[in-house]
Amino acid sequence: VSAPPKHRSLGMNSKRPDQYPPRSNKEYADFLTELALRYPHVKAWQIWNEPNLRAFWQPKDDPAAYYELVKTTVKKLRAAAPGRTLVLGGMAYWSTMFKRGGLMLEELQKLGAFKLVDAIAYHPYLRTPYGDISSRHPYNFITTGLWLNDASRKLGARAIWATEWGWGSYQNKKEHDEVVSEEQQAEYTLQRLVLMMAMGFDKVFYFNISDLPDYVAPPHRDSGLLYKDGRPKPVYKALARFIKLLPGTLQPIKSPQVISKTVKRVWGFAWTTGDGRKVWIAWADQPGQVQIKAVRSVLVHALVSGTNKTINASNGSVRVQLGPAPILVELQ
């Protein structure tokens, strides 16, 4: 809950009062508590949105002021609406404070915010599922995400949520982001979801359930799982297949032995599903075949296209075609 109306904003006389914090922490805490009591089926409440950005917290980066808002709100909610999960506002860009410098999550931890809430959160938007491919680049999702998650847990974070991430599917001229087709949106979403599963996020929330009105600029306008009229997009269908094929609690296991002579970079992760099946989810940056060793047969599910086929082993191995679209391989 963020973006206060003019009469409740610290910047009530500015042109954009919704970009300022509330004029009163108590008023905000009272309002959030009223919402929690009115809607008891909502079990988690997030305190503000992207407070490390000036678009949501004018006029400056102010972790101490945001901490005071969190402290006041948590105290009121714990007393009046116990049992709710309370989450820090989702941070953008790893919580970087662009004017002040440093990470807001680090400053909030020093102030004691991690002890107040049930989860911390950030928004790992990047142009591709793994960001800049250089492992030393700050926008490499795997390197920086693993570092931030590990550091946050060591500093006392009880849970780590990704409360916004995703891609918009638009195919006109390039505007704010790279042009992403509907098929690429499905591929990117599955790739990122698998990466986050392997990286230990406790919960992830895709943005958004449906495409947004035309007045919203791309890429967010076209980021939905559904079209504006409610019809499912390819990404929705791919996620539905993915979820159906992975019932119950997943347990990570060692990936199968894979030989890749022509495919330069293969991404693969293996789990045992809740119903006891061993699965390998994989993709490659460029199309090509890989060889899976020590299996009798595999059932290959193409998650984006929806096709599946059984491949029997020859001399103890099978050949499987990989590409940017993730596949789910049941190992037998």
Output the pLDDT for position 137.
76
* pLDDT (mean) for 180-200: 97
Q: What is the mean pLDDT of residues 166-171?
A: 88
Name the segment(s) of the chain with CATH classification 2.60.40.1180.
Answer: 251-331
Give the span between the Cα atoms of 141 and 65, in whole angstroms: 29
Q: What is the CATH number of domain 251-331?
A: 2.60.40.1180
In the chain, list all ranges with CATH 3.20.20.80: 6-244
Q: Is the pLDDT of residue 135 over 80?
A: no
User: Hey, which residues does 321 pair with through a beta bridge?
Assistant: 289
Beta strands in the chain (DSSP E): 44-49, 85-92, 120-123, 160-162, 203-204, 251-253, 258-259, 266-272, 278-284, 288-293, 297-302, 308-312, 317-322, 327-331
State the pTM of this model: 0.94
Q: What is the CATH number of domain 6-244?
A: 3.20.20.80
Average pLDDT estimate for 19-35: 98
8: left (phi over 0), alpha (psi -120 to 50) or beta: alpha
In sequence order, what are the beta bridge partners of 232? Answer: 226
pLDDT at 264: 84
Share of the chain above pLDDT 70, in %: 97
Eight-state DSSP code of residue 256: P
At which residue do the structure tokens 């939905």 appear? 224
pLDDT in tens, 219-250: 889 999 999 999 999 999 999 999 999 999 99
- Is the confidence at residue 65, as pLDDT, over 70? yes
pLDDT of 176 strictly over 70: no
DSSP 103: B
H helices of the chain, in order, are: 25-38, 63-80, 104-111, 113-116, 141-154, 182-199, 234-244
The model's pLDDT over 300-314, given as tens digits with 9 standing for 90+, comes to 999 999 999 999 999
Specify the pLDDT at position 225: 98
Give yes or no for a contact between 25 and 69, defined as CB atoms under 8 angstroms apart.
Answer: yes
SS3 171: coil
pLDDT value at 30 more than 70: yes
